[in-house]
Structure 1
């Protein structure tokens, strides 16, 4: 503790939280992991982020960066190191209403972003929970409620402000620092701290939302019907599914969101979903987009949901993969399974355009286990599904090891990501565990 307090820059006075401080209990952990950092720094400006990076580096301790702390890997905190917490950098500003250009700081939560933008009739498709921080999601991908019509959040990032490990501040866009700009959109955790994003929002005020409960056959046929209806549906329709065991079968809880403001457009988009499986429950509403990521989601992240999660992307949900998903839900090695429709606007983007290369898949499959189950149980539950997957998404992976890196950033994408991480952070100050097994140098002064 004394080591972290030593030579603290004047501009960070009052912004260092250590054990014993009444604020520490609310800042030490993430959503999934309880942690015990030596200190948490709370910068409020880009200049203070620079000071925090330089000070943390001088301590020779592990460094974690947190925008919201909702990430499943728990990497936004650590034991015995320094956490740079960006929660005070939470401003949201509409730069140009005509072009829908919005500046969002990394520490804002998506509920705050939605509340601000709704006054302008704008929205950014950005995950499915209002407590998620902007920085983590907008550097990893962004599979949101409007994903098939809007694409990923990263697909609409137009510029970023980044603090590098040596304290340099860079603005990156398509014309300036293009390699940094490429890496930030999908693999941003390893290049530096993105403190602000300029994002092109969508012109959306109200959306149609349908909640359905459908009995799903154990042979996977109901899942294939769902996927088939999505393949034929207009891009306005995006869906998320949670599967729960239900006797020998399962229940599909489907949330369908239609990017349309008129019931006349919402009803025909949702109607085909009512014909799959045995319908148990159904309701539809028109709501403001902000209602999907409401302020009610906001809460401190104190390690309240310990879990392990992995995922994979399916080019199509065919007979084999649908059966495998159902076995994961109803078989002897059970996991909580969620499905996200992707495709649509996501697949309009060239695979090499960003560090998220997965531009031909249709479905994201996510599996989670909870204590006392651990990694072995998750691997056993997901093994059959994994055989059908082609790629994975960094934001739904709890164990960011070498194997995960190769699934998330396959082939040339992975080689390019590794080069960018080494170029912009040569000493590995921010380098995530995704490269820990690739033989890179230790962080300066890092203590095992």
Structure 2
């Protein structure tokens, strides 16, 4: 009974007929909606009655969101491998990692010749396929130095540039039946994809034996190779064929293929929507339950596939084989192709031992249970853009909730929206724009919802509408003990209070209910000034902001000019509305602060100014930052900060206006209690002058900080982030919801000591 350790997957095999093209696309979309994992299309480029398969795959990728796509199988003799490699990688990048590559050596040679392809003997076609795999993998291997060279008899590249790399580790599956092809599967491929109708009863076992022996000879683990199977059949009360009859009969007859032949993917060939839905909704779930149940009854358990090359990179303290099947398929370990994309945050480099990527709240609970059972650090990531760097770690586990990214308007009259914690604010803004709604949410579209909305949320609409968390009225949370609860005014109100300002200490938020604002177009302005007199500029800029109408929210960044030139100051300002005349009146005084080097102002949709950038998160450089919440940019503060900048202690200054509506909320209404300040100041410390910078910073006498802009984690900061009454209340709530202090790897809030027993 081979156990190749693969999770069960189910797919559709759809005919790409061109009589009714939209019907083919509808079948693909229905397959996704019904819950199938994979949609495939046969590829016969010489068949005039078919759509071109690659064009169809591209179109379907744009019309679907979750399902993976593949040719079944692509006709290699008519698709040059170097171009095919770039096509696959490009579509994989555009689709978010949803493309697989099924390849065939070619079989209908008269038709292939008629289309301009060269005829090959069976042996030559296998050799050509082997060379093609080298070309394709070489194009994808952007980490390899030097240009790509493959000197094959049938496929040759000489100095080709590598890239792009796909978004995920695209598997190469081969349609194979004969021994030479099967040996090639074992030597180089990631999957075996035959059709059941072309096989005799003993062929699967015999084919597996050849593949496994070839893999072992090549120094590979046979478990690296997924076994897939194309099926044909129909549903009814009874039938004579193997797969004819009700769903229960299908499950009974498919079970041996999974248990005895190690098939991990079943792909049903049908153009009947009812048949595909029945397969997805009745057969697939039942078979997923039957396989582990049968294994458990036999005293065995399903294994988990890990390529042999990755085993040596596993980190101590993590039981990798304990992952449930629901998490294993999307988990990323060191050595996986996708590891570089998930190991780090936008700013900080990390090297976690395991990144779990749940896609439902229930899977988040499973991931948390796995993490709690390990003796390693835990980090939770929504977007990974935070300056503090606490959404990654070294050697630990990261729970990345990026797949929980839904945005839904659940009550337009109340302006109530439900947002997944893994969504990015640019995506949220774009989704809400058609409704004339917006949520004030920082100043950058790639920032994740969960981290910002539970820490504060100092955004471009702050003075008009307050912090992001001021409008959070409900949340779904996975608690430390694995329970999934709602927190709102009627359910766990103490937890909701704590989530709004200290959410990272209380649980893993999976979604938030937020009351959005009525916002359409806004006036967006950018001014760049010569800030040679930095102290005076800071002071006057602060006074001007405080005198401005609430509709205006302004952010200021001061940075060095090029080649030793004077300091430059960039003001980014948003007027929350489309009254251009009032906006101009409020903005014009900023032009008088200092010599203006650049200015622009425009009426634009709010979504346009926080558009998602989708920048890769590869850890640009450690950012040592300090934060202060200030009532005013007074002369003493401005002089001290400007002096640090001039001395080189700090390399960057940002000031965000946070007065106005932010301070309308009572200090005890949320765990974010600082409601008297008008400005949020943050600076980047020059690490080479860290000692001098720390001493100069202490002279500011900072008594309130914003933790999202802090890279220092000492206990003194916690007292400045949360005033004593707030911190004590948080500790009591922490003792209720996280008494074991599971969520201690952010800025830790220790749970209150248990009350002494009455005696």
| TM-score bucket of the superposed structures, by smaller chain | over 0.9
Q: Is the 8 A contact 2:685 2:693 kept in 1?
A: yes
Cα RMSD, aligned residues only: 2.0
TM-score, length of structure 1 as denominator length: 0.92
| 1:17-416 correspondence runs (5 A) | 17-216=332-531, 218=533, 220-245=535-560, 250-295=567-612, 297-369=613-685, 373=688, 375-376=690-691, 378-380=693-695, 382-384=697-699, 386-387=700-701, 389-416=702-729
CA distance in 2, matches of 1:248, 1:262: 37
Higher strand share: 1
TM-score, length of structure 2 as denominator length: 0.55
CA distance in 2, matches of 1:373, 1:288: 42
**Larger-Rg structure:** 2
Per the TM alignment, residue 217 of structure 1 is displaced from its structure 2 partner at its CA by 5.4
Q: Is the 8 A contact 1:146 1:238 kept in 2?
A: yes
Per the TM alignment, residue 232 of structure 1 is displaced from its structure 2 partner at its CA by 1.6
Q: Is the 8 A contact 2:534 2:567 kept in 1?
A: no
1:107-147 superposed Cα distances (whole Å, 9 cap, x missing partner): 11111111111121111110111111101001100000111
Q: Is the 8 A contact 1:401 1:435 kept in 2?
A: no
Unaligned runs of 5+ in 1: 442-448
Per the TM alignment, residue 432 of structure 1 is displaced from its structure 2 partner at its CA by 3.1
Task: Indicate the SS of the match to 1:26.
Answer: helix
Task: Indicate the SS of the match to 1:129.
Answer: coil
1:378-399 superposed Cα distances (whole Å, 9 cap, x missing partner): 4245334x32x33111111112
Q: Is the 8 A contact 1:248 1:330 kept in 2?
A: no
Q: Is the 8 A contact 2:415 2:515 kept in 1?
A: yes
Q: Is the 8 A contact 2:522 2:578 kept in 1?
A: yes
1:12-47 superposed Cα distances (whole Å, 9 cap, x missing partner): 230221112111111111122211111111100011
Per the TM alignment, residue 319 of structure 1 is displaced from its structure 2 partner at its CA by 1.3
The answer to whether structure 1 residue 420 and structure 2 residue 733 are counterparts is: yes
423, 426, 430: which one aligns with 2:743:
430
Q: Is the 8 A contact 1:191 1:425 kept in 2?
A: yes
Per the TM alignment, residue 70 of structure 1 is displaced from its structure 2 partner at its CA by 0.9
Per the TM alignment, residue 265 of structure 1 is displaced from its structure 2 partner at its CA by 2.4
Per the TM alignment, residue 153 of structure 1 is displaced from its structure 2 partner at its CA by 0.1
CA distance in 1, matches of 2:347, 2:565: 31
Higher mean C-alpha displacement, 393-402 vs 411-420 = 411-420
Per the TM alignment, residue 413 of structure 1 is displaced from its structure 2 partner at its CA by 1.2
Aligned residues, how many?
436
Q: 1:205 to 1:29 in 2, by over 3 A?
A: same
**Structure of higher RCO (CA pairs closer than 8 Å, 6+ residues apart):** 1
Query: Would you identify which runs of 4 or more consecutive aligned residues in structure 1 move more than 4 Å?
Result: 246-249, 438-441
Q: Is the 8 A contact 1:245 1:330 kept in 2?
A: no
Higher mean C-alpha displacement, 398-407 vs 38-47 = 398-407
Q: Is the 8 A contact 1:141 1:186 kept in 2?
A: yes
CA distance in 2, matches of 1:85, 1:4: 18
Q: Is the 8 A contact 1:421 1:431 kept in 2?
A: no
Q: Is the 8 A contact 1:309 1:378 kept in 2?
A: no
Q: Is the 8 A contact 1:206 1:288 kept in 2?
A: yes
Q: Is the 8 A contact 1:218 1:248 kept in 2?
A: no
Higher helix share: 2
